[in-house]
Amino acid sequence: MLAELRTRADAGCGVVLITHDLVAALGVADRVVICDEGRTVDTVAPADLRGDGEHLTHPYTRALWRALPAHGLRVPAGGTADAAARRRPLPLRPAPALGGGRRRAERRAR
């Protein structure tokens, strides 16, 4: 599938791949847009995503790159694993309503 997307891109077609798999994006993309909470925070060339990520300018991009299993989770200098984990908690949001299907089912049951 990814090879097909790359073939189409090489043939001049515009391709947008939205993924959480940064490694998959590297094989297809001419540029990688990094989003955090739905906002663009960085745009990098795949060639920039290499090594330990020390040269990456945005801290979130660097953290994503370093979180890949191939790189191992690295803790910032002077920090601890616990501090790194607490630095940016994931927001917990309620699941969206699914169009009232439960209410319809309850009405049918009456």
Residue 97 located in a structural domain: no
Sign of CA dihedral 40, 46, 52, 54: negative
Query: Alpha-carbon distance 94 to 48, whole Å?
Result: 36
Q: Which residue has the tokens 């699941």?
A: 95
Residue 103: inside a domain, yes or no?
no
For the chain, the average pLDDT equals: 75
Q: How far is CA 20 from CA 55, 76, 91, in A?
A: 22, 23, 17
Asked whether 31 and 46 are in contact (CB, 8 A), the reply is yes
When divided into structural domains, the chain yields a total of 1
The answer to whether residue 106 is domain-embedded is no
pTM higher than 0.85: no
pLDDT in tens, 59-109: 999 988 888 877 655 544 544 444 444 444 445 555 555 555 555 556 666
Determine the structural domain holding residue 71 and report its residue range.
2-88
pLDDT at 52: 82
